[in-house]
Amino acid sequence: MPRMPRIFPLAALCLFASVGAQSAFAQESDDSLSTEIELGAIFTSGNTEDENVKFKGNVVWIRDAWEYGFSIDGFRSSKQNVLAAQRVYTVGSATYNLNEDSFILSRIAHEDDRFSGYDGQSDFSVSYGQNLLRDRENLDWNYTIGAGMRYSQAPTENTKEGIIRLATELRWNVSDNALFIQTLSVESGKESSIGRSESSIQSDIMENLSMKFSIKMKHQTEVPLGRKKTDSEASVTLLLRL
């Protein structure tokens, strides 16, 4: 059986270390801390040596009017022990709630995709957001609009450009044990624009364990020569809430 890639155990270790440190602090200060971990994997051996691993971790820490978040999303695929795909996307954020309906979001993200034609892409933005449909028991909808910078590293040149970022998220409690989430974002710059979409539905198996099905899409208007503009990913994972 193929070995688990090193990046995923390391990512999990970093996530658990972060959770442990923040959990101890949260207990002392009576703050709110929540953690979600997703994992899905397929390994084959014998006539076909394939390996597909999907990992995602998310930590949210709420303290008074502040909400801090960190997430890491990774995927790795190999065929006959030859790397076919590897992507890691990390996001850190800090949100200050002005009141029940509006907030300020600062966000930094970095993507390392071995087969995108870029050595890496990073962006930072500050946005204003509003919570909509707050009076609905089973629906939560918000949007953000802001500006920032994006830095793209390519083998031939590096580019830096200003961006306008628009994003929205819809959360719908379909039933007592099923949740649908739709996120959309657009980061528009002079050189290139990036759009992302994720649709997911998760169903509880036990109190802290769910099965999750998700579809992701990423579209970039300008990409290095020989690369496709649109990437898609469909996955089924187990989601553990700590």
Q: In one letter, which amino acid is 152?
A: S
54 in Cβ contact with 74 (< 8 Å): yes
- Helix or strand run (H / E) with residue 4: none
Answer for the pair 111, 223: CB distance below 8 angstroms, yes or no. Answer: no
Residue listed under structure tokens 């994006």: 150
Kindly state whether residue 160 falls inside one of the protein's structural domains. yes
Which residue reads 């970039």 in tokens?
220
Give the three-state DSSP class for 113. strand
Mean pLDDT of the chain: 86
- Asked if residue 102 belongs to a domain, the reply is yes
Q: How do residues 59-89 score in pLDDT, each as one tens digit? A: 999 999 999 999 999 999 888 888 888 899 9
- Distance, in Å, from the CA atom of 112 to the CA atom of 51, rounded to the nearest integer, reads 19
Indicate whether 1 belongs to any domain. Answer: no
Residue 48 lies in a domain: yes
Strands (E), 116-220: 120-132, 139-153, 158-175, 178-189, 193-204, 209-220
**Any idea what the CATH number is for the domain that residue 124 is in?**
2.40.160.40
Where in the sequence is the domain holding 25, given as residue range(s)? 7-241
Name the residue among 118, 95, 122 with its Cα closest to residue 109: 122
138-179 pLDDT, tens digit each: 899 999 999 999 999 888 888 999 999 999 999 999 999 999
* pLDDT score of 92 more than 90: yes
Two structure tokens written together for 24: 């101890």
Residue 180 CA to residue 139 CA, distance in Å, equals 10
How confident is the model at residue 2, as a pLDDT? Answer: 39
Would residue 2 count as lying in a domain?
no
Which pLDDT does position 164 carry in this prediction? 98
- The SS3 of residue 82 is strand
Task: Give pLDDT tens digits for 26-68.
Answer: 455 558 899 999 999 877 776 667 888 999 999 999 999 999 9
Number of domains the chain contains = 1
pLDDT for 199-210, tens place per residue? 999 999 998 999
Q: Is the pLDDT of residue 14 over 70?
A: no
Q: Which is more confident, 87 or 133?
A: 87
Give mean pLDDT, residues 88-94.
96
